[in-house]
Amino acid sequence: MSTFDGPFDVERRLTRHGCVCGRHHPAPEHDECGRALRCEPAASDEKRYAGVVASAVMRAVFPRDAARRAFLKSVGAATALAALSQFFPIRTATEAFADTGAPEKKDLKVGFIPITCATPIIMAAPLGFYSKHGLNVEVVKTAGWAVVRDKTINREYDASHMLAPMPIAISLGLGSNAVPFAVPAIENINGQGITLALRHKDKRNPADWKGMKFAIPFDYSMHNYLLRYYLAEHGVDPDADVQLRSVPPPEMVANLRADNIDGFLAPDNICQRAIYDGVGFLHVLSKEIWDGHPCCSFAASKDFITSAPNSFAALTRAIVDATSYASKPENRKEIAEAIAPANYLNAPTTVLEQVLTGTYADGLGNVKTDARRVDFDPFPWQSFAVWMLTQMKRWGQIKGDVDYKMIAEQIYLATDTRKLMAEMGLAPPAHSYKSFSVMGRSFDPDKPDDYLAGFKIRKAS
Amino acid sequence: MSLRFRAAIVSVALFAVFLAMWQLATRSTAAVGSMSPEYARLMGATATEGKSAMPGPSDVGAKLWEHLRRPFYDNGPNDKGLGIQLGYSIARVGLGYLLAVIVAIPLGFLIGMSPLISRALDPFIQILKPISPLAWMPLALYTIKDSGLSAIFVIFICSVWPMLINTAFGVAGVRQEWINVARTLEVGTIRRAFTVILPAAAPTIVTGMRISIGIAWLVIVAAEMLVGGTGIGYFVWNEWNNLSITNVIIAIFLIGLVGMVLDQALARLARLVTFPE
């Protein structure tokens, strides 16, 4: 479930007790509160913050809920709010609340790779989410994942768009020096796909793919792990039976056209671009492999986080805010237009629209619709990190015993993000771990080694 | 008809033939499967109209005109006009090249004038010279920790060798008689270097500089494709990202043009310093 479904879902209980927004003690009272005190999706941030502040004040004034309810019932919410404002400056408090600590560094550079996964990071610039949180952010397009990694380690970028496993790999020193990194927010969930060259349109059974060549964007990517997982579940050993190549996404379509590769598991808009150019078709969406899988993350070095905590918090708020905006289907068309120009993704708007709205051509002559083809949810579930670590171990990227949870908790900052989201009036999940299932195989973050032992195809360690 | 005029006619004719063949090779292929209009709306022209994936000369011409009309626009950090991008590239090449001149020419003099230093440095130069400049890039990024400076360093390292070797060769090859004459006139070492050796070795040195600027311009495109941000190499990469072959062709054309201008500038300098013997 997306975190953003919460506040609008009457049935959903987010806290141990109380109403759906968690601010009112017994649930029925939630419905009685006046407009300003209610948990309806707030029209703007100011209103959302006002709601948080007002309900905090109400709780302080009426420690007993019964008394508050009685008071509200007798005078009405609007009067209550007016009366309260007489002796408590709600407006000032709201402003003070929204304005949490001046950022130490206002002019920031954030690197990104031009794919739709980076949507929240990119659109936050043209749609003004960074400036709303008091930052002047320059989003810089970067040539490849290794360059993003090096430039972020060099502190040329303050924070970056990275593949979800990259901060883990960097922190563990896989493929680079060990530099502690952290992930305050996941960018997108779903939104990838396996695309095959058109000549393979009758070879839809992965068991027939032995001997084929596939491209993935980076070794430490969800794409690598998902493709390997998918192949292995169909009895194809990704190390022995097929060839996997690390290819930068823009080169994938050109290579597919030139018959250098047979297919790829790539981020969108690359999949849709191959279809748009008539060279490939979509075999499966990554959503069909694991619905709700993370893909890219927003990452910063621990060094930046400790040296500029307020800038980092403001940046995270801007990203969470943008991700929340991107998660709403009605905004997707506007976003597609905002990020299409050469300054950002540099891709045809039609392609981006198909990816973001989920009404797309599949390359075989059909128009398909899947509104959650790509979705956005910032909450950095630590169970995601545990899953990635199991796959890193499965394919020999890390060896020996792994303290899964210790690593996950250091890198995926679920606790901090939860606090921040609650302050913003959003409804973060109460736990940092959740179980999920990947191609029908359920994953329990408490038993990663058992999960790992269940795979027949894996690299001998 | 003068030879020059006839050569010009042949050049134009060749170009016309080239354009015609290009146009012919990239015309639409008619074979397109039928598709529903709803589906066709979501697809690109290559799939719907059988338009060739390669742009024709008219597409390139139209796009080039568009770029030439506004060469200096600035739509933010990742989208700048071609003029600005070329400017960045030329500045990087200029800076790296200048550094190389500052290092290579005095060092070349030293090597050329002292057989001891020449022998001592020879193994290092022989090993360092054949290394592809881009192989330095990861090392540069890692140690310099700045991608802009790394690109300049790569330009420096690639343009330093031809100049160094040519300077050393030129200095060592100055006619012994001239040096002997200077000796008899009791000219000091410094004065001898500037008034006798430098003018005598200048043509060889400038030839080395000319080779270097060519290599530097070759390398900057590749370096900018790697580090990104700004420059004509970044432009190529960005348009490749968008699979816009049209813009890539335009960039190739402009890279050739600028490379020619740089080369001609050094050729003019070479003509200034040559002397009849």
* Cβ pair B228:A139 closer than 8 A: no
Q: For B42-130, where are the alpha helices, taking DSSP H only?
A: 45-48, 57-69, 82-113, 115-128
List residues in chain A touching B: CB distance below 8 A.
114, 125, 138-143, 147, 150-151, 154-156, 250-251, 253-254, 257, 273, 275-278, 341-344, 346-348, 350, 354, 359-361, 365-367
What's the pLDDT at B50?
73
Sign of CA dihedral B87, B93, B96, B100: negative
* Cβ pair B243:A273 closer than 8 A: yes
- Helices A249-257 and B232-241: crossing angle, nearest 10°? 60
Best of A122, A367, A369, A373 to substitute, by most chain B Cβ atoms within 10 angstroms, is A367
What's the pLDDT at B227?
78
Q: Vertex A124, ends A161 and A122: CA angle to 5°?
A: 45
H helices, E strands: number in chain B: 13, 0
For residue B38, the chain A residues in CB contact (below 8 A) are: 367
Give the CA distances from residue B133 to residues A423, B44, B154, B219, in Å, rounded to whole numbers and listed in that order: 51, 39, 6, 7
| Maximum Cα interatomic distance, chain B, rounded to a whole number of Å | 93
Sign of CA dihedral A442, A447, A452, A453: negative
Closest-CA distance, A74 to chain B, in angstroms, reads 56
User: % helix / strand / coil in chain B, to the nearest 5?
Assistant: 80, 0, 20
Closest-CA distance, B226 to chain A, in angstroms, reads 6
* Cβ pair B229:A140 closer than 8 A: yes
* Nearest residue in chain B measured CA to CA from A350: B42
User: Residue A401 corresponds to which tokens in the numbers above?
Assistant: 């015993």
* Cβ pair B47:A276 closer than 8 A: yes
Nearest to A343 among B53, B79, B141 (CB): B79
* Cβ pair B77:A138 closer than 8 A: yes
Determine contact, residues B239/B251, Cβ cutoff 8 Å. yes
User: Residue A153 corresponds to which tokens in the numbers above?
Assistant: 């380690």
* Cβ pair A341:B43 closer than 8 A: no
Nearest to B42 among A138, A273, A350 (CB): A350
Alpha carbon of residue A382 to chain centroid: 13
* Nearest residue in chain A measured CA to CA from B149: A156
Best of A147, A271, A272, A282 to substitute, by most chain B Cβ atoms within 10 angstroms, is A147
Nearest to B38 among A139, A147, A367 (CB): A367
For residue B248, the chain A residues in CB contact (below 8 A) are: none
- Helices B147-172 and B198-227: crossing angle, nearest 10°? 160
Nearest to A342 among B38, B79, B226 (CB): B79
Alpha carbon of residue B224 to chain centroid: 12
What's the pLDDT at A7?
41
Which residues belong to CATH 3.40.190.10 in chain A? 107-190+294-353+363-426
pLDDT in tens, A147-175: 899 889 988 899 999 999 999 999 998 87
DSSP lists the bridge partners of residue A245 as A215
User: Residue A29 corresponds to which tokens in the numbers above?
Assistant: 């009272």
Q: Residues of chain A whose pLDDT is less than 50? A: 1-2, 5-22, 24-42
Q: Vertex A214, ends A211 and A217: CA angle to 5°?
A: 155
For residue B237, the chain A residues in CB contact (below 8 A) are: 143, 250
Residue B253: which residues within 8 A CB-CB, separation 6 or more? Answer: B64
State how far the Cα of B135 lies from the Cα of A152, in Å rounded to an integer.
21
DSSP assigned state of B55:
P
What's the pLDDT at A30?
45
User: Residue B109 corresponds to which tokens in the numbers above?
Assistant: 């003099």
Best of B241, B245, B246 to substitute, by most chain A Cβ atoms within 10 angstroms, is B241
Long-range contacts of A151-155 (CB under 8 A, 24+ apart): A151/A111, A151/B147, A152/A111, A152/A181, A152/A299, A152/A300, A152/A301, A153/A177, A153/A179, A153/A301, A154/B141, A154/B145, A154/B146, A154/B147, A155/A301, A155/A303, A155/A304, A155/B145
Nearest to A147 among B145, B227, B239 (CB): B227
Q: In what order do the strands lie in the sheet with A263-267?
A: A243-246, A213-216, A263-267, A192-197, A280-285
Give the CA distances from residue A195 to residues A206, A227, A253, in Å, rounded to whole numbers and listed in that order: 12, 11, 10
Nearest to A143 among B38, B76, B225 (CB): B225
Q: Residues of chain B whose pLDDT is less than 70? A: 29-33
What's the pLDDT at A34?
38
Residue A137 backbone class (left: φ over 0; alpha: ψ -120 to 50; beta: rest): beta
Q: Vertex A381, ends A375 and A387: CA angle to 5°?
A: 100
* DSSP codes, A56-97: HHHHHH-SSHHHHHHHHHHH-HHHHHHHHHHHS-HHHHHHHH
Closest-CA distance, B243 to chain A, in angstroms, reads 7
Instruction: Give the closest residue to B147 by CA, choosing from B258, B228, B36, B203.
Output: B228
Structural element, H or E, at residue A182: strand A181-186
Q: How many A-B residue pairs are in contact by the CB < 8 A criterion?
A: 101
* Cβ pair A277:B240 closer than 8 A: no
Nearest to A156 among B43, B146, B242 (CB): B146
Determine contact, residues A164/A183, Cβ cutoff 8 Å. yes
* Cβ pair B42:A361 closer than 8 A: yes
Closest-CA distance, B166 to chain A, in angstroms, reads 35
What's the pLDDT at B222?
87
Give SS3 for A11.
coil
* Cβ pair B53:A367 closer than 8 A: no
pLDDT in tens, A242-254: 999 988 887 888 8
**Count of beta carbons in the 10 Å neighbourhood of residue B162:** 22
CATH class, A107-190+294-353+363-426 region: alpha beta
* Cβ pair A342:B35 closer than 8 A: no
* Cβ pair A342:B242 closer than 8 A: yes
What's the pLDDT at A100?
64
The ipTM of this complex is 0.73
Name the residue with tokens 């408590």. Answer: A88
For residue B33, the chain A residues in CB contact (below 8 A) are: 365
Residue environment code for A33-69, b if the CB has 16+ CB neighbours within 10 A, otherwise e: beebbbbeebeebebbbbbbbbbebbeeebeeeeebb
Determine contact, residues A363/A275, Cβ cutoff 8 Å. yes
Instruction: Give the closest residue to A84 by CA, choosing from A69, A72, A96, A95.
Output: A72
What's the pLDDT at B101?
95
State how far the Cα of A159 lies from the Cα of A163, in Å rounded to an integer.
13
- Helices B245-273 and B82-113: crossing angle, nearest 10°? 40
* Cβ pair A150:B228 closer than 8 A: no
Alpha carbon of residue A40 to chain centroid: 24
State how far the Cα of A5 lies from the Cα of A12, in Å rounded to an integer.
9
Determine contact, residues A211/A436, Cβ cutoff 8 Å. no
Instruction: Give the closest residue to A262 by CA, choosing from A216, A218, A224, A226.
Output: A216
DSSP assigned state of A294:
B
List residues in chain B touching A: CB distance below 8 A.
33, 35-36, 38-39, 41-44, 46-47, 53, 75-79, 141-142, 145-147, 225-229, 234, 237-243
Nearest to B43 among A142, A154, A276 (CB): A276
User: Residue A119 corresponds to which tokens in the numbers above?
Assistant: 């949507």
Q: In what order do the strands lie in the sheet with A181-186?
A: A136-141, A107-112, A159-163, A296-301, A181-186
Best of A253, A276, A344, A357 to substitute, by most chain B Cβ atoms within 10 angstroms, is A276
Determine contact, residues A375/A191, Cβ cutoff 8 Å. yes
* Cβ pair A141:B228 closer than 8 A: yes
Give the CA distances from residue B118 to residues B99, B113, B115, in Å, rounded to whole numbers and listed in that order: 21, 8, 5
Structural element, H or E, at residue A442: strand A441-443
For residue B39, the chain A residues in CB contact (below 8 A) are: 361, 365-367
